[in-house]
Amino acid sequence: MFKKWVITFVLGTFINSTGWAKDSNSIQIKGSDTMVNLSQAWAEKFMEKNPNDFIAVTGGGSGTGISSLISGTCDIANSSREIKAKEIALAQKRGVNPYEIKVGLDGLAVVVHPSNSVSQLTLQQLADIFTGKISNWKEVGGKDLKIVLLSREVNSGTHVYFKEHVLRKGDPASKEEFSPGALMLSSSQALADEVAGNSGAIGYYGMGYISPKQKPVSIAKDAKSPYISPKIENVTNGKYPISRPLFIYTNGIPNGSVKKFADFMLSKEGQEIVLQTDFVPIKK
Amino acid sequence: MRLTLFKIKEFFIEKLIFLCGLACIFFVLLIFVFLLKEGISLFHTVTPVQFLTGKNWYPISDPAQLEILPLILGSLWVTLGAAIISIPIGVACAIYIAEVAHPKLKELLKTGIELLAAIPSVVLGFIGMVTLVPWVKSVFNLPTGLTALSGSIMLAFMAMPTIVSVAEDALYSIPKSYKEGSLALGATHWQTIYRVLVPAASSGIVAAVMLGIGRVIGETMAVMMITGNAALMPHSILQPVRTLTATIAAEMGEAVVGSEHYFALFAVGIVLFVISFAINVTADSFLHKKR
């Protein structure tokens, strides 16, 4: 008798819970660490207006997000890099059709410890620093201090973007790599903390993470060009040399509540949130 | 009639327990076969020698360079450091608990050590990140505190509970007559400990050490947080290192299923499996040596 009652109860809750999930339109978002704060801000505002929708946001890196989209464990993948041809091929093999929506822009800030006297670098110097050709701050006009390279892990879209556009300067034939001595940190926050506490460190992350504890470096395309600081207006007008688009990927053209949410991101209000979280809106 | 019923019952229970016993071995076999199957696929593109002795780990480049010598050395450095720190302290602690401590203090110490074993590794890693890493940086005047040494110190804390409890058991199980005999011959308490008791328990102590080391080499979360994860050839314990375990944990999310990188991570898994298997077998052979 008791056993029967327990089984009914368990089955009942199980069925109820699946029913509940359908009613309330839950959306799973996974991917880029750079975009977590932005996504979370969108989700909060959106849920305020649509109390029936539930949105869960997790990070993990762009690669992780896209892998999850391919294996069907998330509805929206945040990515701070374009999807790779390899990933598209794999997705199609599994019956997933990644659909790309550009939702904002991000400037990649290169940061050093506030006590560091170096405040501007050219792209070439930056590449030489991160590949290990320059290993002391005095070679770029700073103190006699060993440079500590900080990088994100390989599952980070920021890592991939930085390698392709700074180390390799966008040249697909280039073979430049991060110096093997570069420390690999698993999150942008960990990287920010390490820069804040280490006077010889240099690292990179999305502009949103800049705080008074780190000093952003101005970057010039080459020695003749002006040095540009990572500010929103410089990314919007295209002057800042290391900026990138931010994407979301869905399985096929979005519909239902995913579409509603994607439309919200691109709406005036959504793009306002982009600006508030220190990214750069795509629409004015 | 009743007797046969009991016999049938007995028969089924025996078989059931037998199956449960087999299940463990079966699962280990399944895991090993899966690891092997996925890992071996890598060797279509990279030779095992190159994989094990090459010095470049650039898994997402095109073409990828999948060579794990720096990772193996990274794991070994961290483990060696942890062993040097934890073995003397752990064994001494076991001797104190088994032979010297007052019974009340003994209970307190044992509880403390069990508590130490209960701290999740991610918590230890986090504590290490905010306290130990800056300390290592300033004490050794290094460019960064994210080094093999930081990992070693933190992992020593994790190996200690294993070492202490197994070694203490070994010391405790020595027949009382050994100790009594030694004392009766006029040896002091200390002479008895290091001339009679420790040699008598040596196989158990070695097993304790090996099990502790086995725990260290498989540890992931804490080392990932505090060793810096730079895949360069380590020349000193004061350099950042990337361990085998941290590599798998950090990169599995990115690796596309069925890609070269994915197979390489499984091959790294095989290497880890072989290392910890060897350690466990050694520990086991020491445990059974004197019985």
Please tell me the distance in Å from A68's CA to the nearest CA on chain B. 9
Q: How many Cβ pairs within 8 Å bridge chains A and B?
A: 81
Q: Please give the pLDDT value at position B290.
A: 57
Give B126-177 pLDDT, tens digit per residue: 899 889 998 998 999 888 888 999 999 999 999 999 999 999 999 999 999 9
Give A148-196 pLDDT, tens digit per residue: 999 988 878 888 889 988 998 888 788 888 998 899 888 888 889 889 9
Distance (Å, whole) CA A71 – CA A61: 15
User: Are A133 and A146 in the same domain?
Assistant: yes
pLDDT at A16 over 70: no
Give A66-120 pLDDT, tens digit per residue: 988 988 889 999 998 889 888 898 889 888 999 999 999 888 899 999 999 999 9
Q: Please give the pLDDT value at position B81.
A: 94
User: Are A222 and A134 in the same domain?
Assistant: yes
Question: Across residues B54-76, what is the average pLDDT?
Answer: 88
User: Are A239 and A251 in the same domain?
Assistant: no
User: Are A112 and A234 in the same domain?
Assistant: yes
The model carries a pTM of 0.75
Task: Return the ∠ at Cα B110 (arms to B105 and B115), rounded to 5°.
Answer: 125
Q: Is residue A284 part of a domain?
A: no
Domain of residue A223: give its range: 107-243
User: Are A45 and A113 in the same domain?
Assistant: no
Q: Please give the pLDDT value at position A1.
A: 44
User: Are A14 and A75 in the same domain?
Assistant: yes
Please tell me the distance in Å from B2's CA to the nearest CA on chain A. 29
User: Are A126 and A231 in the same domain?
Assistant: yes
Q: Please give the pLDDT value at position A115.
A: 93
How large is the ipTM? 0.71
Chain A residue set in contact with B, beta carbons under 8 Å = 60-61, 63-64, 67, 70-71, 86-87, 90, 145-148, 153-155, 160, 175, 177, 179-186, 190, 194, 197-198, 200-201
Q: Do residue B59 and residue A154 have CB atoms under 8 angstroms apart?
A: yes
Any idea which residue has 């999948």 for tokens? B66
Distance (Å, whole) CA A209 – CA B124: 26
Q: What is the largest CA-CA distance in chain B?
A: 83
Q: Which of A198, A199, A202 is best to mutate for the B interface (most B CBs within 10 A)? A: A198
pLDDT at A24 over 80: no
Given a contact cutoff of 8 angstroms between Cβ atoms, the answer to whether A195 and A150 are in contact is yes
Give A207-262 pLDDT, tens digit per residue: 878 889 999 999 998 888 899 998 888 888 888 988 888 999 999 999 888 999 99
Sign of the Cα pseudo-torsion (A196, A197, A199, A204, in order): negative
Q: Please count the structural domains in chain A.
A: 2
User: Are A101 and A14 in the same domain?
Assistant: yes
Confidence class of residue A13 from pLDDT cuts 50, 70 and 90?
Answer: very low
Q: Is residue A283 part of a domain?
A: no
pLDDT at B228 over 50: yes
User: Are A199 and A272 in the same domain?
Assistant: no
User: Are A212 and A236 in the same domain?
Assistant: yes
User: Are A198 and A133 in the same domain?
Assistant: yes
Using a 10 angstrom Cβ sphere, with 0-12 exposed, 13-18 middle and 19 or more buried, the burial of residue B276 is: middle
B230 touches chain A (CB under 8 A): yes
Q: Please give the pLDDT value at position A10.
A: 47
Please tell me the distance in Å from B257's CA to the nearest CA on chain A. 9
Q: Which residue has the higher pLDDT, B58 or A2?
A: B58
B56 touches chain A (CB under 8 A): yes
User: Are A223 and A116 in the same domain?
Assistant: yes
Neighbours of B20 (CB within 10 A): 9
Q: Do residue A154 and residue B137 have CB atoms under 8 angstroms apart?
A: no
Q: Is residue A281 part of a domain?
A: no
Distance (Å, whole) CA B251 – CA A178: 16
Give contacts of B240 with chain A, Cβ < 8 Å. 181, 183
- CATH of residue A95: 3.40.190.10
Which stretch of DSSP H or E encloses residue B276? helix B260-289
Spell out the residues 6+ positions from residue A96 whose beta carbon is closer than 8 angstroms to its own: A69, A70, A72, A251
Given a contact cutoff of 8 angstroms between Cβ atoms, the answer to whether B64 and B58 are in contact is yes
pLDDT at B33 over 90: yes
Q: Is residue A263 part of a domain?
A: yes
Give contacts of A61 with chain B, Cβ < 8 Å. 253-254
Q: What string of DSSP letters covers chain A?
A: -HHHHHHHHHHHHHHHHHHHHHHHTEEEEEE-STTHHHHHHHHHHHHHH-TT-EEEEEEE-HHHHHHHHHHTS-SEEEESSPPPHHHHHHHHHTT--EEEEEEEEEEEEEEE-TT-S--EEEHHHHHHHHHTS--BGGGGTS-S-B-EEEEE-TT-HHHHHHIIIIISTT-TT------TTPEEESSHHHHHHHHHH-TTEEEEEEGGG--TTSEEPEEESSTTSPPB---HHHHHTT-SSSEEEEEEEEESS--HHHHHHHHHHHSHHHHHHHHHTT-B-S--
Q: Is residue A282 part of a domain?
A: no
Q: Is residue A71 part of a domain?
A: yes
* Nearest partner of B74 among B222, B221, B269, B240, judged by Cα: B240
